[in-house]
Amino acid sequence: MDIVSRFKTSPRTAGHSQSANPADDLVNGALDTLSNLIRVLGNESFPLESDLDAAVFPRICEEFACHVENGAAVSSHDIPTSVDGRREWSRVRRFLADRRHAEKAFVTDRLHGYRGLVDDLVTGLRDIGLRDQDTESTIRESVKAMQDAVGSGTLPQIKQALSLTVSQVNDTFAKQKFEYEKQLRELNERMSSLRQDLVAAREEMKRDALTEAYNRGAFDSAIVQSLNMHFILQQPVTLLMIDLDEFKVVNDDYGHAAGDAALRAVGECLTRSFIRKNDLVARYGGDEFAVILPDTTAQQCLTVVERFIKTVRAIEVPASPTNIRISCSVGYTEASADDTVESFVNRADRALYQAKSEGRDRCAYLAADAPSRPRQN
């Protein structure tokens, strides 16, 4: 007889008297433990939005605890009093599982929401910092014009320069105040629409169906977070852009099944190469992948990049008639303090073009201070 059957056929007696049967002691101890765990769940639970009255859920848990102990009724779930000592174990399991799932979803939603708010706040602070630089530049120019007038001008010229400087400074601060208030309004609106944003974020953070890498929506969210962490903690972050060489030829000569097999193989190779918890491998679009490496300098990732390129050379595409081999080109760059998402991605993309123009099947690095040249397709 297994332990579940013993539970079904061994009702508890008042006073929990000591039994001479070890099996009964085992059952009673297990029932005590389970009922106490249910009571702890009720007393220490997360307050969910569905809990309109905070006292209701602890009372339901108390009912289930009593049902476990002696088969008492659970009126909240239409479970009658047991007449033969049997418990509704499936209902107990479902009640516990449903609550844990609801609490997990609640905590996950809130965590994603708070992360989104932090990202918005940091982005706002970066924007304010850039506006402050513009403000400082404007004021310095005004002060310099006034100093020049004092040094070489007449009194009317000095008064005119002073008046113009005061006017420019007032206009600058008024504009800055307007921008700050606008930023606060946007943050307030962001908080009020948090639930809708969370739904959208969950949809974005899905994996690509073909390669099982993260999709473009996941990449767009992660690149913002990575740059924000770089801005706050001065933490290095490196971005890789990867492209399959001559992928159009594979599709045209061997069919889309071979092309899909090649993409899957490269996606698996990337996942095996960049294995840290915070590394993000994403399908950027078409035959292009992107990898975000937080807390990693460009120099630190070079060995792994070269090993990845070497591993790709050994891939055989089974869907092709002749088991064709493929190769990849990789461009990579490290974030700088002045980077935006656009400048960061564009620089990695230019590095990728450089790798292709130098013969493909290789990697190329582009520093943040490298001259910007238009990409020629």
The per-residue pLDDT for range 76-87, each reduced to its tens digit, is: 888 999 888 889
Reported as half-sphere exposure (CB side, CA atoms, 13 A), residue 346 has a value of: 12
Tell me the percentage of the chain whose pLDDT exceeds 70: 69
Angle in degrees, CA 294, 280, 197, rounded to 5: 100
The pLDDT value recorded for residue 188 is 67
> 16 pLDDT band (50/70/90 cuts)?
very low
| Residue 369 φ then ψ, to 5° | -95, 10
Mean pLDDT calculated for residue range 296-320: 89
The pLDDT value recorded for residue 120 is 66
Q: How far apart are CA 206 and CA 335, in angstroms?
A: 25
- Give the containing element (helix H, strand E) for 30: helix 22-43
> 238 pLDDT band (50/70/90 cuts)?
very high
Higher pLDDT pick, 237 / 43: 237
Mean pLDDT calculated for residue range 150-168: 65
Q: What is the pLDDT of residues 182-229, one digit of tens each?
A: 777 776 666 555 545 544 555 555 788 899 899 998 899 889 988 988
| pLDDT of 376 above 60 | no
| pLDDT of 139 above 70 | no
| pLDDT of 245 above 90 | yes
Mean pLDDT calculated for residue range 96-125: 72
Helix (H, G, I), strand (E, B) or coil at 225: helix
Helix (H, G, I), strand (E, B) or coil at 19: coil
* Mean of per-residue pLDDT scores for the chain: 79
> Model-level pTM?
0.52
The pLDDT value recorded for residue 72 is 92
E-assigned strands of 189-296? Answer: 237-244, 280-285, 288-294
Buried b (16+ CB within 10 A) or exposed e, 332-368: bbbbeeebeeebbbbbbbbbbbbbbeeeebbbbbbee
Helix (H, G, I), strand (E, B) or coil at 65: helix
